[in-house]
């Protein structure tokens, strides 16, 4: 009977082993939760460029004529096909009408019918902005209606201006809209009085 107390019980229940196993299980659980929380969000294909205003010029789909959007900021910087970045402005695409709007893939011709140019204002500088249109290349010989829209993007999207200009032929430059911004991006003084930006020999 004396020797019997020197040996552990015959069953497999060892309290130390149970405590150690439970501790390891808890550690593994906490590690997995921490890993999930620090794992970066998957944003494949997601683009979120910073912009305060979006200016868009659009003319009829599949139209062959080349229309250019020209924007002058409060300090006199110009963006258009010749200068795609200036100040806080950026021309996202120089759309040339029917030129460069087709791509052949595996023998199949794919066309983009949309005619549109956009300029983004990626910051705010107080002062007047001028939005002009230039009929750069005329193929059809007919007048072209061009829709212009100015949108304020923050804190929510709102349309500042929407209108249509009729461009009459190569070299015709027209002012679509002029507007003023204060230091925090509030819009005022919206009007369409003409101001030449690139016409040879003209002074603004």
Contact between 31 and 82 under an 8 Å Cβ cutoff? The reply is no
Three-state DSSP class for residue 187: strand
Whether the per-residue pLDDT at 8 is higher than 90: the answer is no
Whether the per-residue pLDDT at 202 is higher than 50: the answer is no
pLDDT of residue 166: 97
Contact between 176 and 133 under an 8 Å Cβ cutoff? The reply is yes
Distance CA 167, CA 186 (A): 30
Domain ranges (residues) in the chain:
3-38, 53-191
Q: How far apart are the first and last CA of the chain?
A: 114
Question: Which of 11-15, 26-30, 88-92, 105-109 holds the top average pLDDT?
Answer: 88-92
pLDDT of residue 110: 55
pLDDT of residue 30: 72
Three-state DSSP class for residue 35: helix
Report the 10 Å Cβ neighbour count for 138.
Answer: 20
Give residue-wise pLDDT tens across range 34-82. Answer: 656 665 555 554 444 578 999 999 999 888 899 999 999 999 999 998 8
C-alpha 204, offset from chain centre: 30
Look at 35-44, 174-183, 195-204 and tell me which has the smallest mean pLDDT: 35-44
> Regarding predicted confidence, which is higher, 134 or 105?
134
**Residue-by-residue DSSP string for 78-147:** EEBTTBSEETTEEE-----TTTT-EEEETTEEEE---EEEEEEE-S--SEEEEEEEEEEE-SS-S-EEEE
Nearest to 80 by CA among 66, 99, 96, 94: 94
Mean pLDDT of 178-189: 94
Nearest to 59 by CA among 51, 68, 50: 68
Mean pLDDT of 104-120: 72
pLDDT of residue 201: 41
Nearest to 72 by CA among 91, 49, 97: 91
> Regarding predicted confidence, which is higher, 93 or 63?
63
Contact between 167 and 174 under an 8 Å Cβ cutoff? The reply is yes
Res. 95 pLDDT band, cuts 50 70 90: confident
């Amino acid at each position: 009977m004396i020797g019997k107390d020197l040996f552990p019980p015959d069953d497999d229940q060892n309290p130390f082993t149970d405590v150690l196993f439970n501790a390891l299980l808890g550690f593994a659980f906490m590690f997995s939760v921490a890993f999930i929380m620090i794992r970066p969000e998957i944003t494949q294909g997601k683009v979120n460029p910073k912009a305060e205003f979006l200016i868009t010029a659009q003319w009829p789909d599949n139209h062959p004529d080349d229309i250019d959007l020209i924007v002058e900021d409060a300090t006199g910087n110009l963006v258009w096909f010749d200068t795609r970045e200036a100040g806080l402005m950026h021309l996202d695409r120089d759309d040339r009408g029917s030129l460069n709007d087709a791509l052949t893939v595996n023998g199949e011709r794919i066309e983009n019918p949309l005619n549109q140019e956009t300029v983004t204002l990626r910051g705010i500088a107080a002062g007047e902005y001028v939005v002009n249109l230039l009929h750069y290349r005329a193929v059809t010989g007919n007048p072209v209606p061009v829709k212009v829209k100015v949108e304020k993007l923050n804190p929510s999207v709102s349309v500042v201006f929407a209108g249509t200009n009729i461009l009459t032929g190569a070299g015709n430059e027209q002012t679509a809209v002029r507007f003023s911004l204060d230091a925090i991006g509030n819009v005022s003084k919206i009007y369409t009085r003409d101001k030449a930006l690139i016409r040879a020999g003209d002074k603004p």
